[in-house]
Amino acid sequence: MVYSIASTDSALSVVISSEVIDARELGAKLVQKIRTEKLSLIRFTLDGDNWSSRTLAAIRIVDEAIRKEGAVSDYSKLPAGVSKILTISQPTVDADKEDDRKTSADFLTLVGEQTLAALKEAQEVFKFLLESLAALKQMIRGKAQYQKSDLLSFIHAVGPQALAIVGLVNLLLGVILAFMGAVQLQQFGAQLYVANLVSLGLTREIAPMMTAIILAGRTGAAYAAQLGTMQVNEEIDALQTFGFSPIEFLVLPRMVALALMTPLLVLFADAIGIFGGYLVGVLLLDIGGVEYATQTRNAIDLGDIVLGVAKGSFYGVLVAITGCLQGMRSGRSASAVGNAATSAVVSGIVAIIFATALFAVLTNALGI
Amino acid sequence: MRSETYKISVRNLTMAYGDFVIQRDLNFDVNSGEIFIIMGDSGSGKSSLLKHMIGLNSPQQGEVYYGEENFWSTDEETRKSLSRRFGVLYQSGALWSSMTLAQNVSLPLSTYTDYSATEIADITSFKLSLVGLAGFEEYYPSEISGGMKKRAGLARAMALDPEILFFDEPSAGLDPISSKRLDDLIMELRDGLGATIVMVTHELASIFAIGDRGIFVDADARTQTALGSIAELRRAPPTAKVAEFLSRGSAPSETLETS
């Protein structure tokens, strides 16, 4: 034990050493003593001169317990510094406030609150979409307030700067598709059809989807983080008080940049992915170069490419919407900006996959 | 040069986030040409009140009038044109980080005036020189110090020669000398431009040095507990808290001479 208790006439003397003590256990013991011996004054003494916040925190806990019993603590035997600090830490009338924030609610309340929150969110998303459309209309009429230089720099960041990563990923996708197909098709001696698989699969499905996913990670997250930081920095407030519409000024150029660049990136991805398949076909599957090219040429027509590019543009718009929406809705703290970037990527990718599935069903049903 | 300056009137304003009421039944006028101080303890909603006045947050109840115009019930266009007549200096400066200081100041000018490019550039450097930032035109906000950002924010707030300037804790985070200089600058601007100034602050030195009238919003009472000239409030504080606030916590009887 690193404390000792001794009772004199009406006071209880507690000697506490600088070692660790179990404050709650000591408190309980004291409370018991107070009750049985009807004491009202507890005198604290420190054993030795060493003390740290550990000692003080322990005394505070003990103090709280005995205060509830109506006893009074006496710090006068403690070193001057200790008694002063302990007095400061004692609850004052107005600082001893209850934490009135909501802590728990029953199940039904929770369901209700969640539903209302979800409805409100849906409303916000809808409002954001309407405002974006209105901004686009303003832009077409040449009345939107935005900086041309912003638009150009976003186009540069979305398009040319993404070429390397989009190229690399799609080249590898072409290679992977070719290998995957070759293993199966070789069994039938039909490895030439690798060209069909690669070119059709890439242009119609894979290239647009993967390009959009890269954009969601690269650009969607960046947009959310940029807009979120501007929110933290009150920059968006400043735009508003100058009468600028944040949607026109910040969201519009970002959306337009993505909508313009995604189709071009998808075309680039198509070409480089088909080249990846060509490398595998010619170098590893012993298909002649001209033969592979002719097979590819016959496998796809303009419609396939157009369909892929159209899908890609749609995904690009989805990435822009999720990125900008999360950024504009971001809270004003560092973690809120992080959350905004995360949800931009997650909701962007989920939206892309959903749209891909929807397109697959639709194109099948319509026979495109 | 100025056709008319507005009187700002706040009537029965209630501010709330959802169910949580921050302040209710706020009633006060800001006369043109005065320096009006919004005071209050921490968490009392001083900054929220400012945001309601400049149109960032819409009131749950009540009105904000600029002259005869009811800010919140008028149409979007009028609201925008009203906004253009006031300048706001945010707590952190809130400069647009992707633009240089010159671009920050010139953007409102190039958007809302038909001045030529050289003229705009001249006005921009003039405004920056007013706040002691001549020569910093091509700097980005990330390249200058906090105090400089605040001053650049002031230059931007003044870009359109506003009739009303709003300040959100202008001296927060500034050293005493810079803070004094900013006060002097605010006084000079008021005298020079004839602008009305609404300032959220709890810097007593500033309040006593430049404030004409003020309002005290109380975090516990959740409404205004004092309104009037600063000198009058100091002489006869209406509540103990106002007395404590204005004397930096000393007993109400022994008021501290700060300025």
Whole-number Å distance between alpha carbons of B137 and B139: 6
Tokens describing residue A134: 């209105």
Q: Do A243 and B88 make contact, defined as CB atoms within 8 angstroms? A: no
Helix (H) or strand (E) holding B25: strand B20-30
- Of A191, A204, A198, A219, nearest to A272 by C-alpha is A198
**Which pLDDT belongs to residue A103?**
64
pLDDT tens digits, one per residue of A194-235: 999 999 999 999 999 999 999 999 999 999 999 999 999 999
H or E stretch at B52? helix B46-53
A25 reaches B (C-beta below 8 A): no
Percent of chain B residues topping a pLDDT of 90: 33
Instruction: Tell me what percent of the residues of chain A surpass a pLDDT of 90.
Output: 59
Residues A42-71: tens digit of each pLDDT: 888 887 777 788 888 888 888 888 888 888
Would you call B92 and A145 a contact, using CB atoms and an 8 Å cutoff?
A: no
Residue B259 in this model has a pLDDT that exceeds 80 = no
Q: How many CB pairs under 8 A join A and B?
A: 49
pLDDT bucket at B1, cuts 50 / 70 / 90: very low
* Predicted confidence (pLDDT) at residue A167 exceeds the cutoff of 90: yes
CA closest to B157 among chain A residues: A242
Mean pLDDT of all residues in B132-150:
90
Beta bridge partners of A46: A16
Q: Is the pLDDT of residue B166 over 70?
A: yes
Asked if B97 lies within 8 A of A237 by C-beta distance, the reply is no
pLDDT band at A320 (very low <50, low <70, confident <90, very high): very high
Banded pLDDT at A7 (limits 50, 70, 90): confident
Residue spans of alpha helices (H) in B131-225:
146-157, 176-193, 204-210
Report CB contact under 8 Å: B96, A235.
yes
E strand spans, chain B: 8-17, 20-30, 35-40, 61-66, 69-70, 86-89, 164-168, 196-200, 213-218, 223-229
A243 touches chain B (CB under 8 A): yes
A193: Cβ–Cβ under 8 A, 6 or more apart, which residues? A181, A185, A295
Task: Name the more confident of A278 and A28.
Answer: A278
Give A194→chain B minimum CA distance, Å: 48
pLDDT of residue A92: 62
Q: Per residue in A323-336, pLDDT tens?
A: 999 999 998 899 99
Residue B251 confidence (pLDDT): 52
The pLDDT value recorded for residue A143 is 85
The sign of the torsion formed by the CA atoms of A221, A224, A229, A232 equals negative
Beta carbons of B88 and A238 less than 8 Å apart: yes
Query: Helix A194-201 and helix A252-283: axis angle, to 10°?
Result: 180
Determine contact: A242 vs chain B, CB below 8 A: yes
- Whether residues A243 and B81 touch (CB distance < 8 A) is answered with yes
Is B90 close to A243, i.e. CB distance below 8 A? no
Contacts of B80 in chain A (CB under 8 A): 243
Res. A277 pLDDT band, cuts 50 70 90 = very high
Consecutive H or E run containing B217: strand B213-218
**pLDDT for the residue numbered A128:** 93
- CA-nearest residue to B80 within chain A is A243
